[in-house]
Structure 1
C-alpha cells in the first residue's frame, strides 16, 4: 500500500493500533474544538439570541450527523474486509458504490432538513423567540449534509486502508477556514446565525472536495475512477445492512437523551446549568474513545478478510483495553481537575459545584462504556449490525426511558438520574459481549 497506508494484518498489534488511533484522536478533538469555536464566536459577537438559536439545533444536528457517522462505520468495515482478503474487485465495487450511496444519503438528509426542520424544532419545544433563527440556521447547515456524508465516506475508506493522517490534514485545513469565515461573516458581515451556518457548510464542502480529489488521484485499489462510478447491487445492500442500523442506533441515542434532559430539567436552574457545563466533557471523552473503536473495526475487518483468526480476536481485546484505559484516565482527570474544567464555562461557584456532581459520577464511569461500544464495533467488523443495534436500543435507550419513569421517578435525586448511565452500559455490554462471542465462534473459529 502506498504512502501512509498500512497493512493491518502484520506487525505488532498494540503498537500499530496505538499509532493508527493517534491521528483519529486529534481529528475527533479538533471537531469538538471547532464546534466550541463556532459557539464562542456567535455567542461573543452576535448576542444571546443568536447563541440560543444555534444552541437550540444541537440535538437535531447531532442526530443527523451521528447517523452519517454510523453509515460511514459500515463502509469502513466492509472496505477493510475486502482489503484484508485481497479482493480487488470487492474493494473497488464497495468504494464506488459507497461514494454514490453517501451522496444520495446526504441529499436525502438535506431534503428532510429543508422540509421538516421547523416542525421538528417545534416538537423539541424550541422557544418561540428563537425558532426563526434556529430554522434559518438548520436549513442553511443542512445544505452541507452531502459534503459531510462524502467526507465521512472518504475518512472511512482511508481509515480502512490504515491511513488516518490524510483525513486529519484535510479536516484541520477546513477547520481553520471555518474559524476564519466565522469571524468574517459574523463580525464584518453582521450575518450572526446565517454567518455561522454558511461558514460551516463552506468548510464541509472544502473537506469533502479535498478528500474526494485525493481518492480520485489515488493509485491504490481503493481509489475512485469516474468510469467505475455505479451502484453495485450486492455491495450497496451490504452497506445498507451494516451502515444503516449503525446510523439509526446513533440517532436513536439522541432521542433517549431528550428524556434524560427532561429529568435534569426537573431540578433547579443551578443544577441544570451545572449539568450543561459538565456535559461538555462527554464529547471530549467519547470522541477520544471512538478513535479506538474505529481502529477496532479497521484492524478486525482486514484480519478477518485475511483469515488471521488470532489477530481478529487480539485486535478487539487490545482496542477494548486502550479505549477503557483512556476513558478511565480522562474521566479520573476530570474528577481531579473538574473545578478548573467547569470554570471554562461558568464563574458561578454554585453552578460549578452542581457540575462537579455530574463529573464525580460520570468520571469514574466513562471507561466502562468501552465494553459496550467497542464490542458493537467488533460485531460489525464480522458483518453483523442489526442484532447489536437492537440490543443497544433496548439496553441503552429503552432501558434509560424506563429507568427515568421508575427508579428516578421514585427517588428523584440527581444521583439516581446519573446512575442510569453505568447501569445501562453494564446491561448492554453484557448482552453485546455474549452476542459477539457467539458470532466470533460461528464465523471465525
Structure 2
C-alpha cells in the first residue's frame, strides 16, 4: 500500500485527498462514499423533473397538453441521454483501469480523447434529433393534439445535447478518479437553475414547453462549465488541457470497447420502452399523460436503484487494473446490498402512495388511475433492475462489456416484441398486464449475467495466481 501512495504522488498520478481511494481501505465505506453523492445527484435530478411537471400544471397556458407533450418526448430523450451516459462509461472504465495500473501517460491520453469524442458525438446526435423530430414522434404514435408542442420541445432539447455530452463525459472522468462529490455538486447547481428558470419562463413569460427546454439547456451549460473548470484546474492525474484535446487511437479503442456496448445497452432499454409507450399511446391522451406522470416517479426509483452500479464500475475497473480481484468482487456484493435496501424501500413507498403522488401533477381521475397502474407494479420491483445494472457494470469492469448488452437485447428488447404484438392483445387495454414485461425481463437478464459473472471472476483469479 505504501508503494501505491508513493506512486500516486509522482509523475502526475497524484489523487485528491478527498477522493475515494478505491485501492485501499474499507470497501463498504468506499462504495458508500461513491454511491451517496451519485444517489443524491440522481434523486435531486428526478425531483427537479417532477417539479417541472408540477410547474407546467400550475402555471402553463395548457398544463395538461404541455405535460403530455414533454412526456411523449420522454422515452426518446431518455434513449439519447442513456446512450450518452452509457458511452461515457467507456471513459470511466478506461481511465480507472489506467489509474489502477499506474500509467499516468495513458490516463492523460484517455482524458483528452474522451472530451474530444463527447464534443464531436454530441454535435452528430444534435443534428439527427433536430432533423428527425416529427418523424420519430410519429413513429411512436404521438397523439396528434400533442405533436406540435412535442416536436418543438424535442428540437430545442436536442440543440443542447453537445453540452450534455461534454458534462457527462467530464463527470465520468472525475468519478473514475474517485471523485463523485463534485459531479453531484455541479449537477445539483444546474438543477436548481433549471427549476428557477422553468418557474420564471412558465409563470411569468408563459413560455410553456419552450421555457422548460431552455431551462434544461441552461442547467447543462452551468454543470458542464463547472466540470470543465475543475478538470482544467485540478493538480491530479485527470487534469485537462484544451490544447491537448484530440483523438488518440489506442485510447479511443479502449473507450469504445466498453462505451459502445454500454451505450447500446442503455439505448436498448429506451428502444424497448418505445414499444411499450407506443402501445400505451394507442389507449389515448389520458393513458399517455398518466404514464408520463408515473415515469417521473419511476425514474426516481431507477436512479436510486442503479446509483451503486456507477460506483461498482469504477471500483471493479481500478481493482482489476491493479490485480485486486477479491476486492473487486467485494465491491459488487456491497453494491447489491445497497441497491436492495434503498431501491426496495423507496419502491414500496412509491407503490403504496401512488395515488397521492400522481395527484400532485394532475386532477384528472382517469390520468391518476393510469399512473397508478404503472407505479404499483414497476416502482416496487426496480431494485431488481438495480441488481441487474450492478452485474452489468461489474462485467464491463471485468472486460466482458458485450454480455450485459446481449442480455439487454434479448430480454429487455426482443422479448417485448412478442409480448406487445401477440400476448398483450389477448387482454387489450389491461396496461398492468402490459407493464409486467418489465420485471420479467429484469429477472431473466439477471440470471443470464450471473452465469457469466462467476466464470469471469474465476478466470481472472487464475490468471493473477500464475503471475
TM range (shorter): over 0.9
Corresponding residue number in structure 2 for 1:194: 210
Q: 1:14-37, CA deviations, whole angstroms, 9 ceiling, x for partnerless residues?
A: 122112211111100121122223
2:441 to 420, 424, 431: 424
Q: 1:183-216, CA deviations, whole angstroms, 9 ceiling, x for partnerless residues?
A: 3333444433322222221221111111001100
Corresponding residue number in structure 2 for 1:386: 402
Corresponding residue number in structure 1 for 2:22: 8
Seen in structure 2, the aligned counterparts of structure 1 residues 14 and 392 have a Cα distance that, compared at 3 Å, is same
Tell me the CA shift for residue 241 of structure 1: 1.8
2:361 to 325, 328, 345: 345
**Alignment partners' CA distance in 2, 1:325 and 1:154:** 30
Give the number of equivalent residue pairs. 445
Under a length normalisation based on structure 1, what TM-score does the superposition of the two structures give?
0.92
Tell me the CA shift for residue 331 of structure 1: 1.8
Corresponding residue number in structure 1 for 2:7: none
**Alignment partners' CA distance in 2, 1:269 and 1:125:** 11
Q: 1:35-88, CA deviations, whole angstroms, 9 ceiling, x for partnerless residues?
A: 223333334323224444333322221111111111112211211111122111
How is 1:370-409 mapped onto 2 (pairs within 5 angstroms)? 370-409=386-425
Corresponding residue number in structure 2 for 1:18: 32
Structure 1 unmatched runs, 5+: none
2:128 to 112, 134, 143: 112
Matched, 1:174 2:214: no
Structure 2 unmatched runs, 5+: 1-14, 463-467
Corresponding residue number in structure 2 for 1:219: 235
Seen in structure 2, the aligned counterparts of structure 1 residues 199 and 367 have a Cα distance that, compared at 3 Å, is closer
Corresponding residue number in structure 1 for 2:199: 183
1:125 to 114, 130, 141: 141
Matched, 1:45 2:62: no
How is 1:313-392 mapped onto 2 (pairs within 5 angstroms)? 313-347=329-363, 352=368, 355-392=371-408
1:433 to 450, 462, 467: 450
Tell me the CA shift for residue 393 of structure 1: 0.7
Judge conservation of contact 1:346–1:352 (CA < 8 Å) in 2.
Answer: yes
Seen in structure 2, the aligned counterparts of structure 1 residues 281 and 54 have a Cα distance that, compared at 3 Å, is closer
Corresponding residue number in structure 2 for 1:233: 249
How is 1:57-68 mapped onto 2 (pairs within 5 angstroms)? 57-68=73-84
Judge conservation of contact 1:271–1:351 (CA < 8 Å) in 2.
Answer: yes
Under a length normalisation based on structure 2, what TM-score does the superposition of the two structures give?
0.88
Root-mean-square deviation over aligned CA pairs: 2.3
Judge conservation of contact 1:304–1:444 (CA < 8 Å) in 2.
Answer: no
**Alignment partners' CA distance in 2, 1:21 and 1:416:** 33
**Alignment partners' CA distance in 1, 2:354 and 2:149:** 33
Judge conservation of contact 1:82–1:88 (CA < 8 Å) in 2.
Answer: yes
**Alignment partners' CA distance in 2, 1:350 and 1:281:** 18
Judge conservation of contact 1:375–1:433 (CA < 8 Å) in 2.
Answer: yes
